[in-house]
Homo-oligomer: A and B are copies of this chain.
Amino acid sequence: MKAEIISIGTELLLGEITDTNSAYLAGQLPLLGLDLHFISTVGDNQQRLIDTLRHAWQRSDIIITTGGLGPTQDDVTREAIAEFLGEKITIDQDLVKKFEELFSYYKIAMPPSNIKQAAIIPSAEIIQNPRGTAPGWWIERDNRIVITMPGPPREMQLMWTKEILPRLQQKIVGAVIISKTLKLFGLTEAEVDDKASLFLSATNPTLATYAKSDGIYLRITAKANTESEAQQLIIQREADIRAILSDYIWGVNSDTLEHNVGALLVAKGLSLATMESYTGGLLANTITNIPGSSRYFKGGLIAYTDDARAAFGFDWQLISQCGLISAKAAETMATMAREKLGASIGAGLTGVMGPAEVEGKPVGTIFVGIDDGQYSQSFTKNYPGNRLQVKQRAVTSALFELRKTLLQEGNDAPDS
């Protein structure tokens, strides 16, 4: 079946915001076996929106709109759809009552303009919006489905996953479709494709790879008559893939490496400190993006220049023998971070971020050192990319190695 997306909002045509809704929805439609042929962006202009709906109606089975559902006069999506379909708008009194209750809960008088958001037409069904006052519409007419969702991405995405996706699954697929994403690091996309090639050509579950800034994602998508059958297919395929790629898989779905490292530290009752050279604090910053990270992250040292390295008590003989861009330096930094800041584990991160080489080592060379008080180890890699990409990959590497160490850590660690 052919699908089409219409993004509505004058702010999109002025370049004030980038349309991320379309990319999100575009990534979801293959899960339903829908072919997306067009995305159109149009302003809050009733006539141009009607023209766009007319083109879409001629060429697509499913039309998904986002935006233009606000309470103000310039929001005309409902009006345009009603006019295009030749249907009359009425006000849903139940919805008005709900709005009044909501506003009275927050002790605000409901603006009269808000009544507009309770509009409905005969062929539309109201779709709840748990994160806003603009409900969506689900319209079925003349063998077509028109789905109307609000523009703010967090409202749209929740409405999509909770309300629209399950309906579409039952309606057009007649089946349940579930997907699960495995997140990998340490292989290129081509290497993942190669190792998983047997499963990439399978049709149920299907497998797709995506290159992201924190590694390669493998999305398993299964289709079955019931949710538990679909889950079973996913569990089986995940086991197949883990049998081949377990060394590289660090998480699933919405996991982040910094979250998973933090959760392991909490679970094992361990703490962490960092010393970085030319990543300049990005490792510590990434770790502390997680709320509650002060439970396990002691602090960090950024040894950006010789003065700072002297202040932190670097062993100059070591640096003159091995260099700052070396395994030995990374391990020493890990030990210094651990000892100075009283942490169970120290992580050291050094490398060449560019634009120029350092100590004869090319841009992209990185060394991760980890010291848990008993053993000290290091890991090196060379990454392509510009300064900010290398910084990001260096930090991802360090978190990936920390996770591996933490998984092995610990029957002798204190309970938390």
A36 within 8 Å of B by Cβ?
yes
B19 in contact with A22 (CB, 8 Å): yes
Q: At the interface with chain B, which of A115-123, A135-143, A198-206, A288-296? A: A288-296
A387 within 8 Å of B by Cβ?
yes
A38 within 8 Å of B by Cβ?
yes
Count of this chain's copies in the oligomeric assembly: 2
| A: contact size bracket | 35 or more
Neighbouring B residues of A264 by C-beta, 8 Å: none
Complex interface residues of chain A between 14 and 33 (CB less than 8 A to chain B): 14-20, 22-30
A13 in contact with B40 (CB, 8 Å): no
A307 in contact with B15 (CB, 8 Å): no
A250 within 8 Å of B by Cβ?
no
A319 within 8 Å of B by Cβ?
no
Main secondary structure of the interface of A (DSSP, over half): mixed
A342 within 8 Å of B by Cβ?
yes
A210 within 8 Å of B by Cβ?
yes
B288 in contact with A280 (CB, 8 Å): yes
B19 in contact with A15 (CB, 8 Å): no
B387 in contact with A291 (CB, 8 Å): yes
Neighbouring B residues of A305 by C-beta, 8 Å: 294, 297-299
- Kindly list 20 other residue pairs between chains A and B, CB separation below 8 angstroms, not including A15-B23, A299-B307, A300-B304: A13-B37, A14-B26, A37-B43, A38-B40, A38-B42, A40-B40, A51-B59, A55-B55, A280-B287, A280-B293, A281-B288, A282-B285, A285-B285, A292-B355, A299-B303, A300-B300, A302-B302, A307-B342, A308-B341, A311-B342
